[in-house]
Amino acid sequence: MNDKKEFERYYLKEFFKLLNETPENIQDSESPDFIVNIHQLEIGIEITEFHSDLKGEKGRPRRLVEEAWASLQKKIMTEVEKYEELKNMKGLLSFENVEIPRNSGQKSFIDELIQLSLEMFKTGQQKISPGINYPLLNKYLKNSVLKK
């Protein structure tokens, strides 16, 4: 197996770890890169490299945009760790655009997200659109998913 294919396989396995899934079989292929059997389905997967040196939204370098996303994620996780009921939960946020709150609005965004997550936990609701009670979340998010 060549180095490129080994890297692709590594990224694929890491992706499945993030999903907490274990495919029954991963078969090397050329197009697509892999054929995966999971949950009695056969899925073709193509691994694509992303080069972040180009300009992104509003002319900002993509690396800065990526760093802003990573920073927001870290801040969210720091707050999540303060709540016992959220510690073993997995969350997925679907954003309206690639835009995130400015630094000055991130604390309020995170506070709303924690409150929404606690509400979802208490009611057992797994997927929700924020609605008017959460104005910042409503501005940036399509929906939020929360699972064990």
Write the Ramachandran bin of 51: left for phi over 0, alpha for psi from -120 to 50, otherwise beta.
beta
Comparing 10-19, 55-64, 134-143, the range with the smallest average pLDDT is 55-64
Start-to-end Cα distance in the chain: 37
How many domains, the chain? 2
Residue 136 resides in a domain: yes
Model-level pTM?
A: 0.61
pLDDT tens-digit map of 59-113 = 566 677 778 888 999 999 999 999 999 988 888 888 888 788 888 999 999 999 9
Domain holding 102, by residue range, is 61-147
Question: pLDDT tier at 55 (50, 70, 90 boundaries)?
Answer: low
Q: In this model, does residue 52 exceed pLDDT 80?
A: no
- Is the peptide bond preceding residue 32 cis, with omega within 30 degrees of 0? yes
Q: In this model, does residue 114 exceed pLDDT 90?
A: yes
Max avg pLDDT among 23-27, 49-53, 91-95: 23-27
Domain match, 92 and 29 both: no
- For the residues 124-129, what does the mean pLDDT come to? 91
Q: How far is CA 40 from CA 31, 36, 87, in A?
A: 21, 10, 31
CB half-sphere exposure, 24, CA atoms < 13 A: 7
Domain match, 74 and 114 both: yes
56 neighbors 70 (Cβ within 8 angstroms): no
Residue 110 resides in a domain: yes
Domain match, 84 and 17 both: no
Residue 74 resides in a domain: yes
